[in-house]
Amino acid sequence: MITIKSSEEIQIMTEGGKILGKIMKELIGKVRPGITTKELNRLAESLILKYGGKCSFKGYEGFPTCLCSSINEEIVHSVPSNRVLKEGDVLTLDLGILYKGFHNDMAVTLPVGKVNPETLRLIRVTKKALKRGIKKVRPGNTIGDISNTIQRYVESQGYNVVRELCGHGIGKELHEDPKILNYGKRHKGIELKEGMVICIEPMVTIGDWKLKKTKDGFGYETQDGSLSAHFEQTIAVTKNGSRVLTNLE
């Protein structure tokens, strides 16, 4: 069931999204060779509590931490650990906050220190795919318009979109209807309506898009070990188009 949010509810989600953006910006500033993802998780949790929120992910379907931290071939939902980040790694930070009864969710992929040009290109393409998808968010368009736009752009750049995972609606629940695939056909699927709030999250691989579970049992990684990138924003559908709720401050 798709829930339509009132203007008051979207305002609450806007407040929560601003807080999440501030927290993500602080986390990004701490990423460097030599730090562990467990340290980043501790910081994320302390900042969420400081701003009066709760961790969306911790305890969700048994997930043990506040932050998801995926490295290199890992795509999503990897558990922070004592693994030390090293020069040349690619790190995805995925974080959700529950604020005044509503969730927000966002993800960014960033280089750790100096990385090779192809890695930087993968990150840029994935980020641009998200921006292109967001431009399709307006009443009257369909989920398929978003999905197709992301797929066509990513594949035109020589990469692949992950097909086994997707974006989602969001609100009082972390994952709500509808599902937002990163591939599809234009003008197909559910029509976007004012008051819907969705998470668009392109997941892109340099190699094959097929996945397998990570050793921690929670995350997903590429079967062929190829690098991946992932960006996500929470977006409200307004009468004038899209409103991104989780921009970096």
Q: What dihedral do alpha carbons 5, 46, 62, 39 form, nearest 10°?
A: 130
- DSSP classification of residue 84: B
User: Does position 210 have pLDDT exceeding 70, yes or no?
Assistant: yes
**pLDDT tens string 213-222:** 999 899 999 9
Query: pLDDT above 90 covers what percent of the chain?
Result: 98
7-244 topology per CATH = Creatine Amidinohydrolase (3.90.230)
Please compute the mean of the pLDDT values over residues 6-16 and round it to a whole number.
98
The tens digit of pLDDT for each residue in 114-162 reads: 999 999 999 999 999 999 999 999 999 999 999 999 999 999 999 999 9
- pLDDT of 65 over the 80 cut: yes
Residue type, 61: E
Residue 16 and residue 23: Cα distance in Å, rounded? 11
Cβ(225)–Cβ(73) below 8 Å? yes
Question: What integer pLDDT is reported at residue 179 of this predicted model?
Answer: 97
Kindly report, residue by residue over 165-176, the tens digit of the pLDDT.
Answer: 999 999 999 999
**249: pLDDT strictly greater than 70:** no
Residues 6 or more apart in contact with residue 208 via CB below 8 angstroms:
160, 222, 223, 224, 226
Alpha-carbon distance 238 to 57, whole Å? 27
- What CA–CA distance (Å, rounded) separates 192 from 171? 16
Residues above pLDDT 70, as percent of the chain: 100
